[in-house]
Amino acid sequence: QQQQKELHDSGNEINLIARKKFDISPSAIQRKRQQEKAQYSSEEDTSTDDEDSTLDEDSIEDNLTDEDESYHSETDSFETDCDSVESEDYANGTETQFQVVTSSAKVKKEKKSAEIETEEERKRKKAEAKPLTAKQLRNILSKDPSGKPSSDWVRRSCRQPCKAALKAPSVRLLLRRLRTNDKEVVILKMKRYINDPATPQVVIDRALDALEENTNCEALYIQNFNVGMREEQILRLLKILQLPTCKIWCLNIGETYNVKFKTWKKFARGLKRTKITHMYASEHTIDTTLKDKIRGIIRNNRKKHDMHKNPDNLDTIIQCTHCWWNPMNAKSLQPYIKKKGYEHMLLDREGQGLQGTTSGATVGDEKR
């Protein structure tokens, strides 16, 4: 409305300027008529012909009428031109206003999009700065560092960066002795061959492969491999212990933290189908209830065989230490231990790893 008013005022101003320029206003025409009448009146004094005078007045009136019509015609034409100019200016103003509105909407949309992106960036940075939960840490630690091949269609490298550890002389010696049933692995303490807590899973997997072929190992110490021993390796070890050819009856799995509790429960249930009679697992990895359940299961397993109390197997029995209850403490073995000169070992609490020593386990209250 403001634009229309301004255009209308400008049209009136243009109309006024045109009238002044061409001097076609009604007052100008009236003055012109008076001048002509005065001229003709002066001529009447010299003229005696009234008719001619009348005719001249009529012609003057006709001329004035023609001039008036011409004035109205010119005025109408000028007003039409002003109206067209006003309409054109209004159309241009409307178009300009539409363009301004469209541009404003576009700017608002871009600003809103920028605000959304800024909000998303802020949330992302906040999430990255948030410390990881215990569950997230376990999920990260449970990933296989050996780099298993991906099943995705995208081609990825299947190279195992930790595979070079298999070429270590001590690892190769361990694998060879297990596959050949060497007497040195009857009491297998993995720390003698792999003394690195960060041993990767690929090495533990290869050792379990060799252990599956072995038939003379009776005691296995595979504790404190928190990187290499995960759910998969614990369950694989359980299957090996359940094999009929496996002779392992003493197990020390120690502190193995990166294993879920439900896997430990499954491991405990599976011990019923093994020959394990003596064992140790850290109370930091299993709770007291599960520990008591495992101790009940391995007590019942002592009825399956006599490798843990046979005097002929005493040389192996006295080396099975650091358990909840060490087999050398069985009453039935005391005379044979004294006879063979192993009596001093009964008094060596550090050697047995009893409670209160630097390498001690929590000893149970078993009596036989």
Cα 208 from chain centre: 35
Note the maximum CA span of the chain. Answer: 185
- Residue 256's pLDDT is 87
- Sign of the C-alpha dihedral, residues 105, 106, 107, 108? positive
- Residue 100's pLDDT is 46
In this structure, what is the dihedral angle of CA atoms 220, 226, 231, 237, given to the nearest 10 degrees? Answer: -10
- Residue 96's pLDDT is 47
- Residue 367's pLDDT is 42
> Which ranges constitute the DSSP H helices of the chain?
2-22, 26-44, 50-129, 134-141, 169-179, 201-213, 231-241, 261-270, 288-301, 314-317, 334-339, 343-346, 349-352
Mean pLDDT of successive 10-residue stretches along the chain, which has 368 residues: 66 60 60 70 54 47 51 50 48 47 62 70 72 69 54 50 82 96 96 91 95 96 92 96 96 91 95 96 90 96 95 94 93 90 77 56 45
User: Do residues 219 and 186 touch, judged by C-beta distance below 8 A?
Assistant: yes
Tell me the CB-side half-sphere exposure of residue 353, using CA atoms within 13 A: 19
- Residue 364's pLDDT is 45
- Residue 270's pLDDT is 96
* Distance of alpha carbon 338 from alpha carbon 347, whole angstroms: 12
* Distance of alpha carbon 352 from alpha carbon 322, whole angstroms: 6
